[in-house]
Amino acid sequence: MSDLKQIGFIGLGIMGKPMAKNLIKAGFKLKVHSRSCGPVKELVEFGATKASSPAECATNMDAIITMLPDGPDSELVILGQNGVLEGVREDAVVIDMSSIAPGISQKIASSCEDKQVGFLDAPVSGGEPGAIDGALAIMVGGKQAVFDRSNGIFDAVGSSYVLCGDYGAGNTTKLANQIIVATNIAAVGEALVLVKKAGLDPQKVYDAIKGGLAGSNVLNAKGPMMISGNFMPGFRIKLHHKDIRNSMLTGSELGVSLPLTSLIQQMIVSLVNQGKGELDHSAIATFAESINDSKIS
């Protein structure tokens, strides 16, 4: 384990709660804070201590992890009044594992540097199952020395972690990940609607193709959900909507044309407007179902 043994953890949602539990299991001492009381109580019963604010959660901690919905949340919790930087000590490390716009990560990093605090943007992929199993893929932006100090933390929550570049690189990599995942989900949905309309059994088609070139983690994780019609959230459509929006904004800032991402964005916006934002992102397949009047399940 690295010298980062006492951790403040802020944000105990679908992803954050199991991540915090895995850190406790790995021997880290945790202080936790979240907007919802239920997960805080659960983590306290699991061995953590409770903090009443982000500043208190950061006080006397070696590292502070934030796992929040979007960039404005990270800014408020880390940079805002009674935020992390009001309580953190010099030489501590702030690890924002939220999936946010790279520019916001760079802004937070600059404020951390001003206080002699290390910073990493380290968004994850793997959804709730990966968070529970401690098998997340972690994409990291920041300085090598800070990354090296944090490896013990990443070992406790992930199966892989890569330093992708300087500040913001982690979240730029996550945007690339989310483009690929969303496009794959949409393609799987269209393909399964096609075979259903042709009178085939989607389960048999899935079994036939999953071992070939079309096979992927996305197909294996999301295909069965589409076939069963089970869209209980592991990663909600509304969060993927946020990631795709950030992808388009970043593409615009860099002058990069993203035609497929733009099409996926329109599909996801349509689903959110239909009230499906709380469903798992495998329900992107329902767009193809709707326009073809055919259910995969």
Q: List residues bridging with 245 in a β-sheet.
A: none
Catalytic entry in 17, 174, 242, 276: 174
- 174 part of the active site: yes
CA–CA separation, 197 and 244 (whole Å) = 29
Question: SS3 sequence, 66-77?
Answer: ECCCCHHHHHHH
Q: Which residues are catalytic?
A: 174
